[in-house]
């Protein structure tokens, strides 16, 4: 029998061998057994300083402090839409050899939660970092409102014309611009801008008598 030994030590023991016919052999001394470890089983420390910053409606940038272990190999990035999640294969995003990561292809106006672990050259993975989160930005609205309809102009005096038009139905409507010219078919612009108004009517005053004015309104 080989006596218990500590890791990294060696010892000589007496060993007797038996054949299948149960005939014992001559006692043979000096069988040397060396006990070795199974390799590095110590994981790196959990990464610290994790931050998450939304830079667009589809991208969040992550940054954290470098780990100091000499045998550090890479980091694992995990993501979830649930706060307090447990990192695992189902929410693994990527590995990276540097202490930052740009997470792209995300949904707009959505909160994402992140954790990062460190992995050494023996494939030992650390505990997860503290959680960080960010909410992707709301995409920029590039769709203009519909052109206002039903515009009417009514002269009420020698110096005043009242305008009226239908309300626009857009939920994000902010206001209207009123343009005026003495030329029919004019193009609205800074040179003939009169006023803006949050309601669908406007009284244009200070006009010249016996003069025809042309109006257009934008939303």
Neighbouring residues of 45: CB distance < 8 A, sequence distance ≥ 6: 67, 68, 69, 118, 126
| Domain locations along the chain | 1-37, 51-135, 152-218
Neighbouring residues of 190: CB distance < 8 A, sequence distance ≥ 6: none
| Predicted confidence (pLDDT) at residue 61 exceeds the cutoff of 60 | yes
Of the pLDDT bands very low, low, confident and very high (cuts 50, 70, 90), residue 4 is: low
- According to the model, what pLDDT value does residue 148 have? 98
Q: 159-212 pLDDT, tens per residue?
A: 999 999 999 999 999 999 999 999 999 999 999 999 999 999 999 999 999 999
- According to the model, what pLDDT value does residue 213 have? 98
- According to the model, what pLDDT value does residue 31 have? 52
User: Scanning the structure block, which residue is given the tokens 């890791």?
Assistant: 7
Quote the CA–CA distance of 38 and 163 in Å, as a whole number.
Answer: 88
pTM: 0.60
| Predicted confidence (pLDDT) at residue 10 exceeds the cutoff of 80 | no
Tell me: domain 51-135, CATH 2.40.70.10, correct?
A: no
| Predicted confidence (pLDDT) at residue 1 exceeds the cutoff of 50 | no
**62 burial level (CB within 10 Å; 0-12, 13-18, 19+):** buried
Q: 142-157 pLDDT, tens per residue?
A: 999 999 999 999 999 9
- According to the model, what pLDDT value does residue 8 have? 47
Of the pLDDT bands very low, low, confident and very high (cuts 50, 70, 90), residue 7 is: very low
Question: 152-218: same fold as 51-135?
Answer: yes
Tell me: domain 152-218, CATH 1.10.10.10, correct?
A: no
- According to the model, what pLDDT value does residue 20 have? 56
């Amino acid at each position: 029998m080989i006596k218990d030994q500590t890791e990294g030590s060696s010892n000589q023991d007496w060993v007797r061998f038996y054949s299948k016919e149960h005939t014992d052999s001559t006692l043979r001394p000096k069988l040397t057994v060396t006990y070795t470890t199974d390799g590095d089983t110590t994981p790196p420390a959990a990464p610290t300083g994790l931050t998450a910053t939304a830079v667009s409606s589809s991208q969040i940038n992550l940054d954290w402090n470098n780990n100091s272990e000499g045998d550090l190999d890479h980091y694992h990035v995990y993501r979830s839409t649930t706060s307090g999640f447990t990192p695992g294969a189902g929410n693994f995003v990527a590995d990276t050899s540097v202490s930052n990561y740009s997470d792209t292809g995300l949904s707009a106006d959505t909160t994402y939660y992140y954790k990062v672990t460190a992995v050494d050259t023996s494939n030992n993975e650390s505990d997860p970092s503290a959680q960080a989160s960010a909410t992707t930005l709301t995409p920029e609205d590039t769709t203009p409102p519909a052109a206002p309809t039903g515009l009417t102009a009514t002269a009420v005096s020698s110096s005043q014309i009242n305008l009226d038009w239908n309300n626009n139905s857009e939920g994000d409507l902010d206001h209207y611009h009123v343009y005026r010219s003495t030329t029919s078919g004019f193009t609205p612009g800074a040179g003939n801008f009169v006023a803006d108004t949050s309601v669908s009517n406007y009284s244009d005053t200070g006009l010249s008598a016996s003069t025809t004015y042309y109006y257009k309104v934008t939303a």
